[in-house]
Structures are given as structure tokens and as C-alpha cells.
Structure 1
Amino acid sequence: MAENQKLISKKKPTFPISKLLAAFLKKHNRSSKISILYNDLLRFQGSVSVFDKNDEDTLWVRTFYSEWDREEIDRSLKKIYTILHSDGNDNTIPFLNIDAIDFCTFGNSKPFRIKVRNILNDNFTYFYVKQADASRVYGLELEHILSPYTINYLVYKDTLIEEHISGIPGDDFIENILPTCSRSEKAQIAKEFVKFKERCFIRLLGDMRSYNYVITPIHDFDKIVYKIRAIDFDQQSFEGNLKVYNLQFLKENQKMVEMVSKRLENSSINQYKIEERSYIAKRMISSPDRIQHIIRCMKHDSISFPKHIERLKQDLIDYVGDVEFKKCNNMGEVLETILIFVKRNYLDISSKELF
């Protein structure tokens, strides 16, 4: 862990939502008035630790509120659920129950996890209530635009609502499931890891340690296909060390990196990286206004420190060999420069030995 601490800042500050970003969120229906804020949920009067099926501490605690507060909180959380997942209609609220409100004591965001159950059929899902942080909002939006996956979230004042992303936590998968996978399954997972690594690297999504992404098995005829998705967007374009954005340098991913080197030839690795860059370029071309708008917000925002920006610029110049990064004044301009290169097929890093 000490090695990772040298790469990653011990504590990332929370950056406020700027007026430009707030305008973007409103234009693209990411902003909605809600009746309960993150700070309201901090009023819990007691809690107990939540343990997993193996009786290990999950670092989440189950919160308890006064009877008066709980009634108001439950009603507000049900309303948020209907806004996030449908049209905000109150007709479904009587059929919803808030089974649990859990608080995470680990990490920067200290989120609340809300378990919502449909009392008619006992189906349940989760959503999260977090402090609104500009870095995380940029990360969520870039995930929605540039990745193969859509994502739902809402922002109101200093509160961020995120949908739950289903999957097996990467650290759990690597430890307990990966060893049981067949050779062909490991080769397919290695391919997905290469593409996932490339996607995070290009869009400057950092700190993708194994517990910050999930692996989802999908049954496809006579085989299982595994997909990898980020679930933590706190480190979007913040750190100055380029290695933070490269999954191979995070020791929690070492088993995945070793699997890639065993299961894939260099030519295949380069092919998958080119495929992912091509996909990102196509996404930018298909949503030009939206990507330009969010990048414009980033260019006028402060989501990192000057020393981080200078370090990252120099690392990119050393890595890519292009001095265009010298002109960048902030993280938005750095990311824009990378994406322009990707779109124009000028950023060719396929010859780099990343694994």
C-alpha cells in the first residue's frame, strides 16, 4: 500500500460545482430539486457495523434515525428514487420501502447507500447520496459520454445522487473467482482489462485499484462474457503523476496485469488498445456538442493543484513526445489535448510496452 500512497495523494479535496458546470447539468437534465441533502443524512443517532456473508467488516455502518426524522427521510428518499429511475411520479411511492441507509467510513466521498425495495415483488436496488464534487461529476459525465455504458446521476446544490452500478467488486473477483475461470475466459477478461485500462488512461480517470471497479459476468449462449466498469470517479483529472491513470502501476491489479502478459500477445494488446481509442473517437464524433460543452466547463474550472498540472504535462510530454501539452494551463486543457489527438489519430501510443 505504501507504493500506491506515493502515487496517489492521501486526501483529495472536494471541489465545488461551478456556475458553468451547474448550467451544463441543468441543460442536460442532470439537475433536479430534491427535498433532502447529504448533510441531512448525517443526523443519524446511532449505527452498527455491516458484515458480509463471511462475517468480515465491510467498512459500512447501518444508520438509525429518530422516528420523526426517519419518516421524513424515507419519504424524501423514495421521491429521489422515482426521479432518478423514472419521471418522478408519486404513484409508485406507496409500493417502495427504504430497507436500509448505510454510511461508508472509508474513502474520500463518505457516501450513503440507500437500499430501496419494491414491496409488491421484493425486488430491490441501491442508489448513493454523496457530497457533490466537481471532479466526480466530470468523471461521471465523461463515463456517460466516452464509455460503452450510460450512467444516471443527479446534482442539487451540494448533493450528488448516483445510481448503483451492478457487478462483482474487482478485488473480490480477482481473489475468489478469477482462479476458477477457464483459459478462454481468462483470455477474454484480459482483453477487457486492456480496453478498460486504455479507456481510463485516455480520459484521465485515476486510482482504478481493484476495489474501484466491478466485473460483471454476462451469459451469452454457451459462454460467459465479462465486462469491466468503473464505479469510483473521485480521481478524475486530479493527480499529477501519469502512472496514477495507468492501471498497471497499481499493485492491487498485479494479478490482472500478469494474466494479460500470459494470455495475450503484444500484437493483440495493441489491437485492443486501438479498438478502444477508435470507439472513444466515434463517441466524440457522435456527441460533439456534449463533449465540447463538458470540456469547456473543465477548462474554466479548478479541479486540481498547479503542481499536479505541471507534473502531468511533463509526464505526458515525456510519454507521448509532443510539446503541445506545454500550452495547457489546467486539467481541462490537458484532457482536451489528449482527446483531440485521439480523434485525429495523432496520439499513437500503441508501441508503448504497457504490460
Structure 2
Amino acid sequence: MSEERLMSKKKPAYPVCKKLDQYLEHYSRKIEIPIFYEDLLRFSGSVVVYDADDEDTLWVRVYYSEFDRIEIDNSLKKVYSILHSDGSNNIHQYLNIDAVDFCTFGNSKPFRIKVRNILNDNFTYFYVKKTDASRIYGLELEHMLSPYNLNFLVYKDTLIEEHIAGIPGDVFIKDMLPNCTESEKSQLAKEFVKFNERCMIRLLGDMRSYNYVIVPVHDFDHVVYRIRAIDFDQQCFEGKLKVYRPQFFKENFEMVELVRKKLKRDSVDQYKLEERSIVAKRILSSGARIKRLRSIGKKDTISTRENIEMLREQIYELTLDQQFRKSKTMGEVLDLALNFVRRNYEDVSMKQIIEHRIKI
């Protein structure tokens, strides 16, 4: 299925409602920052950023007038300090803003800020984006339901996100996957199955290969690969269930082939069950925080009526749970999906407890 038919051409940005704003403040996500997304749009010019193979990265390096540059650099150092330290100015003297890059591709059109420590030349990145409610839901759900914590800040119409380190999926598939050992390919197939299941459960869409990263972790005498989402623009928006399943994007064809070649059907089912169980445990352990977020989402507008009606029907066909047909918002669809996973996990766990008691 082509990309155009699978996804909407343009996703609008949704405003942060009052209750979500209060939620962000309660959990220290809402913090005053000295610069806005619009301030970075005042650049005087730009040059194309090429990769090591002289290919266009779709990022441009922007530059500012001398007066604006001083002000912007100081503000970005302050943002870095708020994001990664105590927010004081003490570390500013050790920081340099090496580059401000602007991405012309995709919905969010982010700025990527490269910050270098001048004492040791270590550097990192963070991103400045326009605030979008569905993206915030995506970041919070990733923080609670994935194996990874996320650090981000929201202030009015500006969103600051920390950089998620890893090898871009498309780069890995093209340059590194062919050189992986057979054992590594089997492990990658397992991780892709789990990643695919996790995205579907929490309704994170558009996980094409350039929207996630592969993270190699050295474990004793071998490398273990993990897959992490890095783009959360398509949280709970699209109406087609396939959008929330990375396996249906042509950019992931090689990963799907790995699964087909390396894993038996029973293994695939086992890994799906493992991931559903892990997500259910995270739902239970997240307690009041995820309950509050889900409650807010149920009353929020983060998609269109057409998409909601389409998705709730497709999930009903998958689960045969009549409750999905009663959903009026994407937040309600998500809430039911998470309840469905949690309930199945608890039912299986209770059955196992009863069977154990009968045996003894």
C-alpha cells in the first residue's frame, strides 16, 4: 500500500487544553523558557546540510544577524541548562552553540540545536518544535509505556525535546544490516516484532524507518539491538489501524523480511504476548499519572471525526469488543485499547494463580 493512501497528507497541530496544561505543570513538564520557536525563525539565511556521502539530509543550517545570534545563543544555553541541569547560568561559560539546523521535511519542522562543551569537545543535541497536543500525549505515553524515559519541556507554543541517541533506522537498514551476523539478525527480528506490537497498543503511528533509531548495546561478548521511536507527531491521529503497525510501511520491508526469515509463527506470537504483558505491567505501575493522562485525553480533541469512526471500527473488527464502537474521541479509543491489554493480562495472571492453587 502506498504511503499516500496509508496516511493523511497533512496532520494539523492541536492546541494544549487547560487540563493537559495543568497536567504538564503538575509533573514539571511546563517550565518557563527564554526563547520561543518563532524566535528561531528569524534566521537571515541557510545552507544545505549534507551527510558523509554528500547526500541532502533535508536539514539546512541557519544563521542569524550578529545581534540576533548573541541573544539566541545565550537563550539556547539557558534552555540546555534547564533541560539537563539546574537552570542556572553557571555552566554557560563552558558551552558553545555549534549549529542551529532547521528541518524542512515533515509536519513538525523542528530546529536541531548542537551544544558543545568547550572543555572536552563533547556535544549533544536538543530540539525546538511547535507545541502540538497529540505529540505531547505521544511523548508522555512513550515515557510511561516504553522501556525508555523521556525528557521534554513545554512553554506556551514551544516544545523542547532532548535528543534520542541511536542509528537512524533507514541508515542502519541500508549500511549496517547487510553486515550483521545471523544471530544479530534474529535478535533484530525479535525487537521489530516487539516494537511493532508496542506501537499498535499505544496507537503511535508513522513509524517509518527514519522515525525510529536502532540502539546497539554491548552485552558481554555480543551486541544487543534495541529499537526506539524518535518521532511522536502521529500519536492517536490517523484512522487506519495499519498506520500504527510499522510492518505495513514499505520503508520497513527489510525488517519485515527479517521476521519472516528468522522467526517461526510460534516465536512471533510469543514475542507479541511478552510485549503486551510488559506494557500491561507498565500501565499498572504508572498508577495515577497514566490514569490522569488518559482521563484528559478522553475529553480532548486530537483527531478528526472521520478518523475516530474509522479506527474504532477497525479495532472492533480486531478485538470484537463492542465498547470501541461507542468511542467518541481518540482518547477514548486509546483508553479502551490500554484497558483491553491490561484486562487480558490480569485475566491470564488470575487464571494462572487459580491453576497453581488447584495443583497444590
- The answer to whether the superposition gives a TM-score over 0.5 is yes
**Contact 2:280–2:345 (Cα < 8 Å) also in 1:** no
Matches for 1:125-144 after TM superposition, within 5 Å: 125-144=124-143
Q: Does 1:123 align with 2:118?
A: no
Alpha-carbon displacement from aligned partner over 1:97-148 (angstroms, at most 9, x marks no partner): 0000000000000000000000000000000000000011000000000000
Displaced runs of 4 or more, over 6 A = none
Distance, in Å, in 2 between the alignment partners of 1:220 and 1:90 is: 38
Distance, in Å, in 2 between the alignment partners of 1:47 and 1:17 is: 31
Matches for 1:65-144 after TM superposition, within 5 Å: 65-144=64-143
Which residue in 1 is equivalent to 2:255?
Answer: 256
Which residue in 1 is equivalent to 2:187?
Answer: 188
Which residue in 1 is equivalent to 2:304?
Answer: 305
Matches for 1:190-339 after TM superposition, within 5 Å: 190-339=189-338
**Contact 1:117–1:124 (Cα < 8 Å) also in 2:** yes
Which residue in 1 is equivalent to 2:59?
Answer: 60
Which sections of structure 2, spanning at least 5 residues, go unmatched? 348-360
Which residue in 1 is equivalent to 2:31?
Answer: 32
- Alpha-carbon distance, 1:341 to partner: 1.0
The alignment partner of 1:344 has SS state of: helix
The alignment partner of 1:48 has SS state of: strand
**Contact 1:338–1:347 (Cα < 8 Å) also in 2:** no
Alpha-carbon displacement from aligned partner over 1:46-91 (angstroms, at most 9, x marks no partner): 0000001111110100101011111010000001001111211211
Query: How many aligned positions are there?
Result: 347
Which residue in 2 is equivalent to 1:351?
Answer: none
**Contact 2:240–2:314 (Cα < 8 Å) also in 1:** yes
The alignment partner of 1:29 has SS state of: coil
- Alpha-carbon distance, 1:346 to partner: 6.6
Q: Name the amino acid aligned to 2:161.
A: E
Q: Name the amino acid aligned to 2:24.
A: L
Q: Name the amino acid aligned to 1:236.
A: Q
- Alpha-carbon distance, 1:347 to partner: 10
Q: Name the amino acid aligned to 1:15.
A: Y
Distance, in Å, in 2 between the alignment partners of 1:270 and 1:23 is: 40
Q: Name the amino acid aligned to 2:144.
A: I
Q: Name the amino acid aligned to 1:27.
A: H
- Alpha-carbon distance, 1:296 to partner: 1.2
**Contact 1:320–1:347 (Cα < 8 Å) also in 2:** no
- Alpha-carbon distance, 1:165 to partner: 0.3
Distance, in Å, in 1 between the alignment partners of 2:36 and 2:182 is: 48
The alignment partner of 1:35 has SS state of: coil
Alpha-carbon displacement from aligned partner over 1:267-306 (angstroms, at most 9, x marks no partner): 1111111111111111111111011111111112100000
State percent identity of aligned pairs. 64
**Contact 2:100–2:112 (Cα < 8 Å) also in 1:** yes
CA distance 1:307–1:346, change in 2 (3 Å): farther
- Alpha-carbon distance, 1:30 to partner: 0.4
Distance, in Å, in 2 between the alignment partners of 1:257 and 1:321 is: 27
Distance, in Å, in 1 between the alignment partners of 2:205 and 2:270 is: 23
Which residue in 2 is equivalent to 1:167?
Answer: 166
Distance, in Å, in 2 between the alignment partners of 1:297 and 1:145 is: 16
The alignment partner of 1:155 has SS state of: strand
Matches for 1:4-15 after TM superposition, within 5 Å: 4-15=3-14
Q: Name the amino acid aligned to 1:275.
A: E
The alignment partner of 1:240 has SS state of: coil
Alpha-carbon displacement from aligned partner over 1:235-267 (angstroms, at most 9, x marks no partner): 000000111111111111111011101101111
What RMSD, in angstroms, separates the aligned Cα atoms of the two structures? 1.1
Q: What TM-score results when the alignment is normalised by the length of structure 1?
A: 0.96
- Alpha-carbon distance, 1:228 to partner: 0.2
Which residue in 2 is equivalent to 1:23?
Answer: 22
- Alpha-carbon distance, 1:224 to partner: 0.4
Which residue in 2 is equivalent to 1:353?
Answer: none
**Contact 1:48–1:62 (Cα < 8 Å) also in 2:** yes
Q: Name the amino acid aligned to 2:59.
A: W
**Contact 1:210–1:253 (Cα < 8 Å) also in 2:** yes
Distance, in Å, in 1 between the alignment partners of 2:77 and 2:254 is: 41
**Contact 2:77–2:92 (Cα < 8 Å) also in 1:** yes
Q: Name the amino acid aligned to 1:84.
A: L
- Alpha-carbon distance, 1:222 to partner: 0.4
Q: What TM-score results when the alignment is normalised by the length of structure 2?
A: 0.95
